[in-house]
Amino acid sequence: MKAKLGQPETAADAKALVDKNRAAGADIVKLFTGSIVRPNQVTPMQVEIARAATEEEHKSGGLVFSHSSNLEGTKVAIDAGLDVLAHTPESVNGIDGAVLQRMIAQQMTIVPTLKLFSQDRDIAKIRGLDYQFRHLGGRLVYGTDTGFLADYDQSEEFRQLLAAGFTFRDVLEMLTTAPAALFHLSHREGKVMPGMRGDLTILSEDPASGRPEAFTHVLYTIRGGTVIWQADRTTK
């Protein structure tokens, strides 16, 4: 994997890799601040290397995501000033309210990706961490690990979010206003109101019904006021 994923050994290396990727068209950096090197072993990234990459990306206005894996990887993400945890840490041991408050103070975001951990024996603890983070005032943004996971059905992600205690309105926020705020697009994205761009998803079932699968029953996808996808209703 070393040929495909940059593995900077110094702060200067990290900055150079960020600049190289941005020149190639990347607009987000993802750091493995906690790398799973073998089962039950996570190696944290050096804080100074993570900080150098983060500061370099921030110069261009980009966001920096973290795959943190556990407490140590999460601390590196916090100390280095990263913006987003791309997944809830798989091991939540030691990630207490004080750690979450530090994240919130730095306006960090978590993308739960709970389907990724749905078969984990600690899934209830992982869900609980997301709920606690949101309850304390943290921002959650909807996302999956589709691509790594071969199953593209997102129903399980919504089931896990509701099992965590989130309401359909909480989930709706994760899908709309929260990502718009994260990507600094709230002035034209995330709401249905005059002056907004007109990016809409039309569902065939009301999520207020309490059925998490309702979010997956998409009839139309509209971008900028133009329908770019619609379901084949003859197969319903």
Please indicate, yes or no, if residue 236 is contained in any of the structural domains: no
Q: What is this structure's pTM?
A: 0.95
Domain extent for 101: 11-190
Assigned domain for 203 exists: no
Residue 218 lies in a domain: no
- The answer to whether position 210 is within a domain reads no
Domain of residue 112, CATH code: 3.20.20.140
Whether 205 is covered by a domain: the verdict is: no
Q: Let me know if residue 167 belongs to a domain.
A: yes
Torsion from C-alpha of 190, 59, 81, 47, nearest 10 degrees: 140
- Is 109 among the domain residues? yes
Total count of domains within the chain: 1
- Going residue by residue through the chain (236 aa), what tens digit of pLDDT does each one get? 455 788 999 999 999 999 999 999 999 999 999 999 998 899 999 999 999 999 999 999 999 999 999 999 999 999 999 999 999 999 999 999 999 999 999 999 999 999 999 999 999 999 999 999 999 999 999 999 988 888 889 999 999 999 999 999 999 999 999 999 999 999 999 999 999 999 999 999 999 998 999 999 999 999 999 999 999 876 54
Assess if residue 6 is contained within a domain.
Answer: no
